[in-house]
Structure 1
Amino acid sequence: MTATAPTATPADRGGRRFAAARRVADAVLFEGYVLYPYRASAAKNRMRWQFGVLVPPAWAPAQGEHSLQRTEILMEPRGAATLSLELRFLHAQRRTVQQARDDGTFTDVAELRLPDRVLVPWDEGTEERVELRVAVPELTQKEIVLPFRRPAREEIEPVLDDRGRTVGRLVRRTEEAEGVVRLHAEEPEGPYRVLKLTAVVENTSPWTPDGPGATREEALPRSLVAAHLLLGLNPGTFLSMTDPPEWARTAVAACANLHTWPVLAGEDGGADVVLSSPIILEDHPAIAPESAGAMYDATEIDEILALRTAALTEEEKREARGTDPRAAAVVDLADTLPPEVLERLHGAVRSLRGATAGAAPEEPPPDTLFTPGQPWWDPAAAAVPGPARVLVGGTPVGPGSRVLLRPGLRRTDAQDLFLQGRAARVEEVLHDVDGGVHLAVTVEGDPGADIRREQGRFLYFQPDEVTALEEA
């Protein structure tokens, strides 16, 4: 479904501008949709949908959830530029299972057992889109408001046995959901002309909880689940929020993003498309080419999930197939995955192959992997000669120096963030072929520091992510 406003025309859904970004956006849309072991009866699948859920405003304050998300990002439009927007979210629909009776009526049941699957009640998610295209000058003149509505509906699907007889039916009920997208742009202070784009997505559903005993399960069918934005600028570019040019850092720091984070997602490293996601990503995220298909499990590790799914009992697989069509696809994928495809999931490293001392590693084809028995890449062997000490805030830092760890926004590794403010000792200063400097450190108080030194397995930070401490 496509919503339009008087000042906007529907965006080209089939266009190529968002093609590369949609592959990552699909992973965001279904992140944690159904978790291993892919059965509705599993405890982890009874608390559904944690990412990007915009609940009705009457539900949000009392439950600590939110009804809106705001994206702010800088852009540099050129000429008669236009902004394309695509809001994507899941709309929960409640599926109940009914069994046929001899008198031709149907009754609700907890499960309906078939030879190949076990059907159970479940909340499915249907993908929804709201699209628009608007001239950038309009955004600077007034706020563009685009309301949208998804009506309530009911669908019935008959369930047939292997002889073609009706043994039951699935009843899917979808509640009404309403929302609005608000857009405007303004020119912040700075040495160069840029525009700060603000895009707000808000759930405006008028539903109110029926008394103090209302639950989250009642709010979910009226919610925008896994809500995220795709933004495209033509012609023009967006600025990175994690690694902006020096002249734009003040303006970037003034941007306020609520419950979402925008990253560059243009094709081939382009900056003309942004994915604003409720999951923290880095600029230009991509799906690993080794992945054989979606696993839908949050923070999925394809190899482990494929092996464990294939090891489920036949009864467990029947229930998984009856839980959701996507769960059934995962089971079928795990059962039919060829050995050579499974091997591709093990030990794939793309950027470090062929590394030799003083030379840049060659980039092999995407499907070229390390073979068992080859030695692991040695980072020291691929480092190029360089000064043994570097300046950090005007202080020379080298092996033996003490530093305070200050991981920056470029790093999205949670383990690095846990080390914020910890003291560490520099073990080595490494220089890569691109001119970058990396400090190999061990954290003070780490009982495994001696083992790290012995094995050469250090933590790595860049000079702008540490503060020099006075030498003892």
Structure 2
Amino acid sequence: MTAPAPTASRFGHARQVADAVLFEGYVLYPYRASAAKNRMRWQFGVLVPPAWGPAGGEPSAQHTELVMEPRGDAELAVELRFLHARRRTVEEARGDGSFTPVPELRLPDRVLVPWDEGTEETVRMAVPVADLEAGVVELPFARPAAEEAEPVTDADGRQAGRLVRRAERLDGVLRLRAEQLDLPYRALKLTATVDNTSDWEPPPGAGREAALARSLVAAHLLLGLSAGSFLSLTDPPEWARAVVADCTNRHTWPVLAGDGGRADVVLSSPIILEDHPRIAPESAGAMYDATEIDEILALRTAALTDEEKREARGTDPRAAAVIDLADTMPPEVLDRLHGAVRAFREATSPAAPPPGVPEPQPPGAAARPDTPWWDPAGDPADPAPERVVVAGVPVGPGSRVVLRPGLRRTDAQDLFLLGSTALVEAVLHDVDGAVHLAVTVDGDPGADVRRAQGRFLYFQPDEVTPLEDA
């Protein structure tokens, strides 16, 4: 038997999602600094200096609470991850060896402009759970002010200018504690807080950009137990629902993020995620613009003009990587971005069964390969009856009804059909046990097309009245 891997090594899977959180909205399409939507940046997980908070309306701290069930002498590993903004200015070289700040520096392959870059920062700690029960454990951290210059050369190898990057001092503290809960099982409430403790006082006229330079940007936590598990905030066991509901989370949202559905790792994110989030396997690379779809971004980016691409390449190395990705993406990779029916894919993803055992197939579609997946009758295994009683009359395929859309769940299109007669094509039952009638409206010239394609209108039984001759 081999010894278990250190808890921090279990963060590998969760860190993929955490990277997407870290760079959420870092640079938006069209990936140029001059674009209006790239002038107001970093909206998620920003912890500003305390003195700036009241003026800017942004928090200086995150607060995470969740329930865990540690086993034995369990150890808690923590990673605080954030971006430290640094201001990049552009300077042009003069003949006397001096440099002058300029709004842009044009080179053959890129146009360099002033920009705020984000440097990845990580604060790590590991502490026995027993120490957390004994009291609050604190870890202060700091990032010093810094300045560096990077020479920029032209096509002939001569220095055309330089990029000057300046970072301001940043201070913070990570606090952890755990308290025993009054439950039939050993469970603890874990509290983790992250505070920006900078003593910076904004001078008169200071804007958000000055505060961002001293802020923890896109701050989030990775939490891992060496032995034991965490409880889901959205789907806890029945015995723990009350204590889980009592957990308070401010400016963060903890979700289970262990590999393979394990519950020993949590990602406490500044954006709302579901338990066990994952990166789409079709994604060819980071697009840094999570409000769009990879396929659309790739197509739009490839369609940018050469001048727009030069400015994007000069805006940020990550923007340059997106341009290169779009320009070099093979057609077959782009095709993968067009869409995926995951239920079908995952149903056929397990390893091949032993000889003599049939391959697992998607329900319905495999049993009747000649039936489209969207056919309401495509699942022969559905045990639900084909008829439902409405006002004492059995209604099923072939029945004729009058449509009486209900006000509590009706859209404008349904209201136009009030009083229309229709033919019931199928009686459907959803996973919640609700009954729906698939119908085609009498007099609809496209009824035959709807019937052939399985594109019906749907009403619940209390929204129809059987015709007297039914």
Q: Distance in 1 between matches of 2:158 and 2:104?
A: 18
Aligned partners of 1:159 and 1:169 also within 8 Å: yes
2:420 aligned residue: none
Q: 2:382 pairs with 381, 384, 404, which one?
A: 384
1:246 aligned residue: 238
How far apart are 1:104 and its partner, in Å? 0.8
Specify the code of the residue in structure 2 equivalent to 1:95: R
Aligned partners of 1:112 and 1:118 also within 8 Å: yes
1:85 aligned residue: 78
Query: Where in structure 2 are the equivalents of 1:23-422 lying within 5 Å?
Result: 23-211=16-204, 213-352=205-344, 362=361, 375=372, 377-378=374-375, 381-382=378-379, 384-386=382-384
Specify the code of the residue in structure 1 equivalent to 2:88: R
Q: Distance in 1 between matches of 2:289 and 2:335?
A: 20
Aligned partners of 1:83 and 1:233 also within 8 Å: yes
Q: Distance in 1 between matches of 2:230 and 2:249?
A: 15
Q: Distance in 2 between matches of 1:459 and 1:59?
A: 54
Q: Distance in 2 between matches of 1:379 and 1:200?
A: 50
2:419 aligned residue: none
Per-residue CA deviations over 1:84-131 (Å, capped at 9, x if unaligned) read 000000000000000001111000000000000000000000000000
2:432 aligned residue: 437
Q: Which one has the largest radius of gyration?
A: 2
How far apart are 1:62 and its partner, in Å? 2.1
Aligned partners of 1:264 and 1:273 also within 8 Å: yes
Give the alignment's TM-score, normalised by structure 1: 0.78
Q: Distance in 1 between matches of 2:75 and 2:115?
A: 41
Q: Distance in 2 between matches of 1:146 and 1:232?
A: 17
Taking a change above 3 Å as real, the CA distance of residues 85 and 457 of structure 1, as seen in their structure-2 partners, is farther
Q: Distance in 2 between matches of 1:379 and 1:89?
A: 48
Taking a change above 3 Å as real, the CA distance of residues 71 and 170 of structure 1, as seen in their structure-2 partners, is same
Q: Distance in 1 between matches of 2:268 and 2:387?
A: 39
Specify the code of the residue in structure 2 equivalent to 1:76: E
Aligned partners of 1:39 and 1:323 also within 8 Å: yes
Specify the code of the residue in structure 2 equivalent to 1:209: P
Q: Distance in 2 between matches of 1:226 and 1:354?
A: 32
1:448 aligned residue: none
Gaps of 5+ in 2: 349-357, 364-370, 389-402, 410-425, 438-446, 466-470
Query: Where in structure 2 are the equivalents of 1:13-32 lying within 5 Å?
Result: 15-32=8-25
Taking a change above 3 Å as real, the CA distance of residues 195 and 404 of structure 1, as seen in their structure-2 partners, is farther
Give the alignment's TM-score, normalised by structure 2: 0.78
Question: Per the alignment, in what secondary structure is the counterpart of residue 381 of structure 1?
Answer: coil
2:367 aligned residue: none
Question: Per the alignment, in what secondary structure is the counterpart of residue 26 of structure 1?
Answer: helix
Specify the code of the residue in structure 2 equivalent to 1:218: A
Q: Distance in 2 between matches of 1:389 and 1:198?
A: 54
Specify the code of the residue in structure 2 equivalent to 1:339: P
How far apart are 1:403 and its partner, in Å? 11
Per-residue CA deviations over 1:28-69 (Å, capped at 9, x if unaligned) read 000000000000000000001000000000000222110001
Per-residue CA deviations over 1:328-357 (Å, capped at 9, x if unaligned) read 00000000000000000112112135989x
Aligned partners of 2:86 and 2:117 also within 8 Å: yes
% of aligned pairs identical?
Answer: 68
Aligned partners of 1:352 and 1:361 also within 8 Å: no
Taking a change above 3 Å as real, the CA distance of residues 147 and 362 of structure 1, as seen in their structure-2 partners, is farther
Specify the code of the residue in structure 1 equivalent to 2:166: R
Question: Per the alignment, in what secondary structure is the counterpart of residue 181 of structure 1?
Answer: strand
Q: Distance in 2 between matches of 1:51 and 1:457?
A: 40
Specify the code of the residue in structure 2 equivalent to 1:385: P
Taking a change above 3 Å as real, the CA distance of residues 256 and 354 of structure 1, as seen in their structure-2 partners, is closer
Specify the code of the residue in structure 2 equivalent to 1:50: Q
Aligned partners of 2:6 and 2:226 also within 8 Å: no
Gaps of 5+ in 1: 1-10, 365-373, 391-398, 406-426, 443-450, 461-468
How far apart are 1:458 and its partner, in Å? 6.8
Of 345-354 and 335-344, more deviation after overlay is shown by 345-354
Question: Per the alignment, in what secondary structure is the counterpart of residue 69 of structure 1?
Answer: strand
